Structure 1
Amino acid sequence: MLTAVYKSSKKADTYLYITKRDDFSAIPDPLMKTFGTPIYVMMFNIEKRAKLGTADLDTVKQRLIEDGFYLQLPPHTESLLDEFKKQNGVTDT
């Protein structure tokens, strides 16, 4: 299955995988507005891949088949304030 990958013009480290280059018809309008103008990154055959960077290959395939797209968000990073609180035993009251 050919897969086109686009990066977001508005959100860092956010990628959109679709099955047909430049066909965003399966993407909900609110998501496209948040994603911004898609910037083409590459196209590849997902069936020939053993793994994908940070995305789970099986999940991406399933979402492409069922939804027509897969949205890859950046990994969650804990805020410095939360990290400080955890290290110093500070709790919210």
Structure 2
Amino acid sequence: MQAYVYKSQRKPDTYLYLAARDDFGCLPQPLLASLQPLVFVLDVALTAERTLARTDPAAVRANLAGCGFHLQVPPLPDGRTDRDDD
């Protein structure tokens, strides 16, 4: 699966993964407005062997297949992410 990654210029360390390049139509309009402007940074093949620095590639693949996008946000100040169990 191919993913196209965009960096938000408004929200630091926030990245948007899309299933199709420049296909912003799959995002809710309020979310898109909160992230813009967006700058394309890379395209990446999300193979089973692929690792990503701050997000689970399996979750990215599932989100891309399900809704067409995945939003990667920075970790909380204490280092936790939304994937951590409390």
Range class of TM-score, shorter chain: 0.7 to 0.9
Name the counterpart of 2:32.
32
Structure 1 segments, 4+ long, off by >2 Å, are: none
After superposition, where does 1:39-54 map in structure 2 within 5 Å?
39-47=39-47, 49-54=49-54
Q: Which residue does the alignment assign to 1:13?
A: 13
Larger radius of gyration: 1
**How many angstroms does 1:19 deviate by?**
1.0
Larger helix percent: 1
Alignment of 1:46-85 (within 5 A): 46-47=46-47, 49-78=49-78
Identity over aligned residues, as a percent?
37
Paired residue type of 1:5: V
- SS of the equivalent of 1:13 reads coil
| Offset at residue 43 of structure 1 (A) | 0.5
TM-score of the aligned structures, taking structure 1 as reference length: 0.78
In the alignment, structure 2 segments of 5+ residues that lack a partner are 79-86
Structure 1 unaligned residues grouped into runs of 5+: 79-93
Partner SS state of residue 25, structure 1: helix
Classify the secondary structure of the residue corresponding to 2:52.
coil
